[in-house]
Structure 1
Amino acid sequence: MRNKVTRFTSRYPMVIKLPTHASVTTASKLMAEHNVGAIMVIEEGRLTGIFTERDLVKRVVAMGLSTDETVLGEVMTPSPITLKSGESVQFALEVMTQNHIRHLPIEENGEIIGMVSLRDLFAAITEELKENIDTKDAFIFGEVYGATSKAA
């Protein structure tokens, strides 16, 4: 299960959700407080959009809109792509690359249970590659790789 996106739901157990009528200021403060780059936008209990740092820059700041007066429903990315909880890290990376996105909500039984970011995926892949290299080094050079042997 190590290579499944569900591994990230335990790292980020709280899914940050706001309604479409919440202000961009409220969303930005929550994102800063929880150190996340995106939040889910919910309407009537259903995921209707995602609001990301990129949305903030391109659709609010660059357009000269007021963060206090602008609501998420006006500037969110609607109908975001989601991942099923059993999907692999590799598949998630492919989806992000093909769609030029950096955050994907994780869905299980119709409910959003978490979110994975591009940074999360790179960290997971880097960790896996390091473990593979360490395993191969141990096989090739033995467990005491780097230690000097004593002459008899």
Structure 2
Amino acid sequence: MKNRPPFDKALTFDDVLLVPQASDVVPKDVNLKTRLTRKISMNIPLLSAAMDTVTENEMAVSLARQGGIGIIHKNLSIDEQANMVDRVKRSESGMIANPITLSSDKSINDAKKVMENYHISGLPVVEKGKLVGIITNRDIRFEADGNLSVKDRMTSKNLVTVSEGTTLEDAKKVLQHHRIEKLLVVNNKGNLAGLITVKDIQKKEDFPNACKDSNGRLRVGAAIGVNNDSIDRAKALLDADVDVIVIDTAHGHSSGVIESVKSIKKAVGDLQIIAGNVATLEGTKALIDAGGLYRQVLTDISTDLEEKYLSKFKEKMTREGDMVMEAKMDGEDDIEKQKELQFTILMMVLLYNTGEGNFVSPFNFG
């Protein structure tokens, strides 16, 4: 193949050893933050595979809390996948800006079902946007009559609320003073504006490196294919506030995938898209040109090696700042040196990510 280096054997993880050297860096100062796309950064460079044996909402939540992002698999109905995304986005937040609510005429059974579905212990009760009460698991835990209305068991008097703009530090003081676990946020019209919970505050302290969006919610991705329902699936995921869509195929350098990237990009606007899999420069550029954000490193090694170190390094810029790098070497035909240089290039790319979506070299090649 055109882009395959002329190696006589391949290497795997157990074949490579990084020799420890002197360092003044302490573990607490290590920063692994990197860019997934132009608009999404991660605190650790880890994605979980979009496989039905690997990533659903539980894995996505766990990984995002550690700083990575989970990609929920596509072997689900559209509603099921969107629901999993929604569960991740609602799992924690600085302030839940759009909390799940109930009307007062719903039954106790309805309240229990919602709490079980979203793994939450309380629900604000609203009528036409106005906050009228709150019902928690403690109010209905031992209620035998599930047909009773929510209004018969909810707390409606002496509700503890705070106004919009209250900081989490101030919210902690209010929660502690009143010894409650949920704090209702209202605007100047008395409408429900959000919800702050003890658990969310605690999770923020327990997982300081969590990968979160601008609203303090965990980030999550979801995979789609190139099927007839891909547009509908992408729109449903967008409505569920997914952070990134992965167009997941075995061979991404094909007309079907390229056309899907174009049509999905048009349908979802600024939503971040990753497309693949590809293994060549041409395939990578084709997906980038179509609107994807896939980046890949390729090396084109000649039969000459002038010296032990790299003598020429070219950077090929693609549109809007994404970069695909191509390395060339001149000199004698030395397989061991070629392998060493190949590994050096790959490590260089991994270690010198600017964080702006581009890979750069630590050396100046003129």
User: TM-score by structure 1 length?
Assistant: 0.65
Q: Which has the larger radius of gyration?
A: 2
Report the AA paired with residue 127 of structure 2. E
Q: Secondary structure at the match of 1:26?
A: helix
How far 1:85 sits from its partner (Å)? 2.2
Identify the match of residue 15 of structure 1 among 92, 99, 117: 99
Give the structure 2 partner of residue 71 of structure 1: 149
Whole-angstrom distance in 1 between the partners of 2:202 and 2:153: 28
Unaligned runs of 5+ in 1: 1-6, 129-152
Q: Indicate the residue corresponding to 1:94 in structure 2.
A: 173
Aligned amino acid, residue 117 of structure 2: E
Q: Is the 8 A contact 1:8 1:114 kept in 2?
A: no
Question: Whole-Å Cα distance in 2 between the matches of residues 54 and 92 of structure 1?
Answer: 22
* TM-aligned CA deviation for residue 90 of structure 1: 1.8
Partner SS, residue 20 of structure 1: coil
Counterparts of 1:42-81 in structure 2, within 5 Å, are 42-57=126-141, 61=142, 64-67=143-146, 69-79=147-157, 80-81=159-160
Partner of residue 108, structure 1: 187
> Which sits farther off after the overlay, 43-52 or 20-29?
43-52
Tell me the distance in 2 between the aligned counterparts of 1:100 and 1:77: 15
Deviation, 1:123, is 2.2
1:25 offset after TM fit, Å? 0.6
Change (3 A) 1:108 1:125: farther
Deviation per CA, 1:34-62, whole angstroms, max 9, x where unpaired? 222211112343111001112123xxx1x
Partners of 1:120 and 1:76 lie apart in 2 by: 22
Structure 2 residue 201 is the aligned partner of structure 1 residue 121: yes
- Quote how far apart the aligned CAs of 1:96 are: 1.2
**Which of 1 and 2 has higher RCO (CA within 8 Å, sep 6+)?**
1
Over residues 96-123 of structure 1, what are the superposed CA-to-partner deviations in whole Å (9 max), with x where a residue is unaligned? 1111211112223433222111111122
Residue identity matched to 1:114: G
Q: Per-residue deviation at 1:14?
A: 3.3
1:4-32 superposed Cα distances (whole Å, 9 cap, x missing partner) = xxx634xx453212111110110111112
What SS is found at the alignment partner of 1:78? coil
Q: TM-score, normalised by structure 2?
A: 0.29
Distance (Å, rounded) in 2 between the aligned partners of 1:88 and 1:13: 14
Give SS of 1:18's match. Answer: coil
What is the alpha-carbon distance in structure 1 between the residues aligned to residue 121 and residue 197 of structure 2?
A: 8
Counterpart in the other structure of 1:28: 112
Alpha carbons of 1:18 and 1:91: their partners in 2 closer, same or farther (altered >3 Å)?
Answer: same
